[in-house]
Structure 1
Amino acid sequence: MTHWNALVLGGGDPSDPFAAAHHVPVKPLIPIHGKAMGVYVLEALRDSGVIAHIAYIGPTPPEIQTLIHQTLPDQGSLIGNLEYGVQNMPAGNRVLVVTADIPMMTASELREVLASAPDSGLVYPIVRKEDCEKAYPGVKRTYARLKDGTFTGGNIFILKPEIVSTFLPRLKEMLAHRKNPLKLAGLIGMGTLIRLLTGQLSLERLEHKIGSILGVSVSAMPTGYASIGTDVDKDGDLELAQQLLSRS
């Protein structure tokens, strides 16, 4: 059985009003039925049976500390945390990066997603809009319309540690341009940007384009598990998580 290292992103903006409204320093510590949100994520990792090592970035009260192998200091950015995390975990396993705000993800769902992950340098699970709406009617998510369907991004991704030094500088550039259409067009090509904006870009072409920019093999992997693409970042999401987790 393949085993993985997990890098859990459990930090957050200290000025986050959602966390402040629930009297905690960061969002993953918001309680759901007496347990921090991040604990549900860590329990899913543990119970999946395929995670060899869990490193955690963010505050670690005792209930979190008992579920992890390693605490890493927050580097202040996603790119910094990825680079530092991968460099400071045990070598030899592929790395699962997961945010600590998807408490509805189950161990069996995670195990199946990891088992079906293609052998690409970077794998990004995505969820179809119809699967999200079927699982959680009325929940608002951000979607992208492609030729193959309408998708929301997952809150996990998988990478091979050896490709980090190759793709992180280029990923940083992409993230810096994501809100500037002209600069983004210069990076990905005007034709690709127009196809993306008009819903005419295929998943295969998008994978190829992003992979060529990052310099690694990239796979966007559709999954039917809406929990992967449903983070808790507002009170409506929290109410949903409270309802579903109380049933389980």
Structure 2
Amino acid sequence: MPMQWTAIILAGQRPGIDPLAAHFGQEYKALVPIDGEAMLTHVVRSLHQCGEIGRIVVLGQQPQTLATAAEMGGGGEMRQSSDGISKSLEQLMECGNLPFPWLVTTADHPLLTPAMVQEFIKEADGDLSIGMVEKQAMLAQFPDAKRTWLRFSDGAWSGANLFAFTSDNVAAALRLWAAAEQDRKQAWKLFRHFGPILALRALTRTIGLKSALEKAGTRLGLSAHLVSLSDPVAAIDVDKPADHALAVQIIASRKAL
């Protein structure tokens, strides 16, 4: 029997009013509707359609408020999040009742498909894998796309909100992420947490993202791996009304096929 993954959906939100949720008259971003269903519902359904996924856990500040949306997609285990993503994931590890490997994604990823998940899982390697989309792949299909790009010698990259954890070695990366999260959108600032040489190489673009992740992982005592995803839609999460409008168009085009 193929190895079964535990899927963790991050469905919490930062303190204060979420602008996208407020725009759609919702208290929680995960419940913003797309095509008549909450974003969380879309994500849960896609994960249920993957034979590689054995368990689905939904992590949020008010899990019971999200339970109906999760149930509409096929259901999941509702868990209470803690103070911040990193701490919440560490606490799940400490529980000891959620077997590795883990697939971690987010509730604001309603365009996630089983094919994206399966490609990512197939290519995942080492203790930690991070799914990304390269800029040229995105612009070839979406020439007007506006994303946050991390620029390296092997291209510019945008995150796909897909992470693979295969052991509790990842706890070291989570602790660093808690300290570095505010720098996540600028490569050199992010990599300065791994020392001046790696930060300088990121700033001057004399290192590729694949190598940078590997070196950063080594500094943390784990193996880190870049997964370059073939479908650029994997990097389209929904953070603002323009993203929402694009997601609606993409879902409509899928239905028309």
- Whether TM-score is above 0.5 comes out as yes
Conservation of the 8 A alpha-carbon contact between 1:30 and 1:36: yes
Closer, same or farther in 2 for the Cα pair 1:221/1:147, shift >3 Å?
A: same
Are residues 89 and 229 of structure 1, via their aligned partners in 2, closer, same or farther at CA, if it must alter by over 3 Å?
Answer: farther
Query: Residues of 1 paired with 2:186 and 2:162: CA distance?
Result: 25
Structure 2 counterpart SS, 1:210: helix
Aligned counterpart for 2:36 among listed residues 12, 34, 37: 34
**Superposition pairs of residues 93-242 of structure 1, within 5 angstroms:** 93-118=100-125, 120-175=126-181, 187-242=193-248
- Separation in 2 of the partners of 1:180 and 1:140? 15
1: distance between equivalents of 2:250 and 2:172? 40
Alpha carbons 1:3, 1:50 under 8 Å: kept: yes
Q: Distance in 2 between matches of 1:219 and 1:185?
A: 15
Deviations 1:143-162 (A, max 9, x none): 11111111112211001232
- Note the C-alpha offset of 1:216: 0.9
Residues 97-120 of structure 1, C-alpha deviations (whole Å, 9 max, x = no match): 1011111121122112212212x1
Question: 1:86·1:161 contact (CA, 8 Å) conserved in 2?
Answer: no
Letter in 2 for 1:141: R
CA distance in 1, matches of 2:137, 2:212: 21
Identity %: 28
- 1:184-205 residue CA offsets vs partner (Å, 9 max, x unmatched): 6764232321221122222343
AA matched with 2:176:
R
Secondary structure of 1:98's aligned partner: strand
Give the Cα–Cα distance (whole angstroms) in 2 for the partners of residues 183 and 209 of structure 1: 16
Kindly tell me: are residues 44 and 104 of structure 1, through their superposed partners in 2, closer, same or farther at Cα, counting changes over 3 Å? Answer: same
Under a length normalisation based on structure 2, what TM-score does the superposition of the two structures give?
A: 0.86
**Residues 61 and 69 (structure 1), Cα distance of their counterparts in 2 relative to 1, 3 Å cut:** closer
Matched, 1:53 2:78: no
Tell me the CA shift for residue 96 of structure 1: 0.6
CA contact (8 A) 1:177 1:184 kept: yes
Q: 1:188 to 1:242 in 2, by over 3 A?
A: same
Distance apart, 1:93 and its partner CA:
2.9
Q: Give TM-score, length-normalised by structure 1.
A: 0.89
The 3-state SS of whatever aligns with 1:76 is: coil
- The list of structure 1 runs, each at least 4 consecutive aligned residues, that deviate by more than 4 angstroms after superposition, is 176-186
- Give the equivalent residue in structure 1 for 2:76: 69
User: Which sections of structure 2, spanning at least 5 residues, go unmatched?
Assistant: none
Counterpart of 2:86 in structure 1 is 79
Counterpart CA distance in 1 for 2:114 and 2:184 is 33
Inter-CA distance 199–52: structure 2 relative to 1 (3 Å threshold) = same
Q: Supply the distance in 1 between the matched residues of 2:216 and 2:41 (Cα, whole angstroms).
A: 33
SS at 1:236 equivalent:
helix
